[in-house]
Structure 1
Amino acid sequence: MPGEAQDKEIWPLPEFYFKVSIDDIGDMSFKEVSGLDMEFDVIEYRAGDSKDFTKVKMPGLRKSGDITLKKGIFVSDKRFWDWIGEVKMNTIKRRAVTISLLDESGSPAQSWKLTNAWPKKITVEGFKADGNNVAMETLILVHEGITLA
């Protein structure tokens, strides 16, 4: 019936209903979140006395890409600028960041937690005199790993 909750076994979650929580900053709304990926380096090895004409491939160190967060610029909202302003030579306040995909009731259905995240770059998208879009800023976070929360 129309208006009923969708069966969780049949329908995947939509991508448009999500939130980002940053320790000591709080919940924030974003237009876009990207970069949730993880991969492993590959170690290739072949023993000199191996009769196989191939290398053995083993998992190496785990690595994760940078996270890109895009949001509109709001009056007096300078939380990103304050955080990136804390960066000093080899010191920064690292924070846990949780990115949650929400169900129709607004509860987290799937969450990813970034460990020891800190801002690497902030960009103001630019302005156009004949533009019709919202002013945007982009924050790029580096971190030390992604886990399902």
Structure 2
Amino acid sequence: MALLYPPTGFHFLVRFEGLLLKYPAMPDFGFQEVSGLSVEIGVEEYAEGGENRFKHRMPNPVSYPNLVLKRGMAISSQIAKWFKDSVEGFEFEAQEITVILLSPEKLPLQAWNFVNAWPVKWSIEGFNAMENTMMIENIEFAYQYYRRISPDDISL
């Protein structure tokens, strides 16, 4: 499918690849925001003796920020159970997380698969007696790296 214009970013799906088998009664979906999808190659500068015009620049290992998911607070969910096991039992079982960008026709356009992810931070916002707003939870995941997946290799 050829796109003439860049896709919009409001229609997406987040899948937790291993959690549905571990916690089948609590499926997780429906996030309002995904952030932290970036990668950066570090640069090391090396000054050569006698060369004063410039420094040599060498690539360093790649670094990835945490993946951050934001949604209305869920009372019972796979992620909440996964995070509880990690915090209370100090058991860190890495899972794969896949973020899938969808077309208006609900066809996959692009996906990113986060390898060996585990929860590292959970926070809520929204306690305010002066406003009638939804409770929002932010969940952060550390991971080793991510892979970009082409539309032909995505299964829903």
TM-score by length of 2: 0.80
120-129 vs 136-145, which moves further: 120-129
1:64 matches 2:64:
yes
Q: What is aligned with 1:24?
A: 18
Structure 1 residue ranges (4+ consecutive) displaced by more than 6 angstroms after TM superposition = none
Alignment of 1:66-145 (within 5 A): 66-75=66-75, 77-87=76-86, 88-89=89-90, 91-145=91-145
List gaps (5 residues or longer) in structure 2. 21-27, 150-156
TM-score by length of 1: 0.83
Q: Which amino acid aligns with 1:84?
A: F
Question: In structure 2, what is the Cα distance between the partners aligned to 1:56 and 1:137?
Answer: 45
User: Percent identity over the alignment?
Assistant: 29
Q: What is aligned with 1:3?
A: none
Deviation at 1:24, TM superposition (A): 2.2
Determine which structure has the larger helix proportion and give its number. 2
Residue 133 of structure 2 aligns to a residue whose secondary structure is: coil
Residue 120 of structure 1 aligns to a residue whose secondary structure is: strand
Is this contact kept in 2: 1:86–1:93, CA < 8 A?
no
Q: Deviations over 1:91-145 (max 9, x none)?
A: 4110111111101221210111111111001112132223222211110111111
Q: Which amino acid aligns with 1:38?
A: V
Cα RMSD between the aligned structures? 1.9
Question: In structure 2, what is the Cα distance between the partners aligned to 1:74 and 1:46?
Answer: 53
Deviation at 1:18, TM superposition (A): 0.4
Question: In structure 2, what is the Cα distance between the partners aligned to 1:85 and 1:9?
Answer: 42
Q: What is aligned with 2:7?
A: 13
Question: In structure 2, what is the Cα distance between the partners aligned to 1:65 and 1:80?
Answer: 19
Q: Deviations over 1:76-95 (max 9, x none)?
A: x2322211122255x41101
Question: In structure 1, what is the Cα distance between the partners aligned to 2:55 and 2:102?
Answer: 44
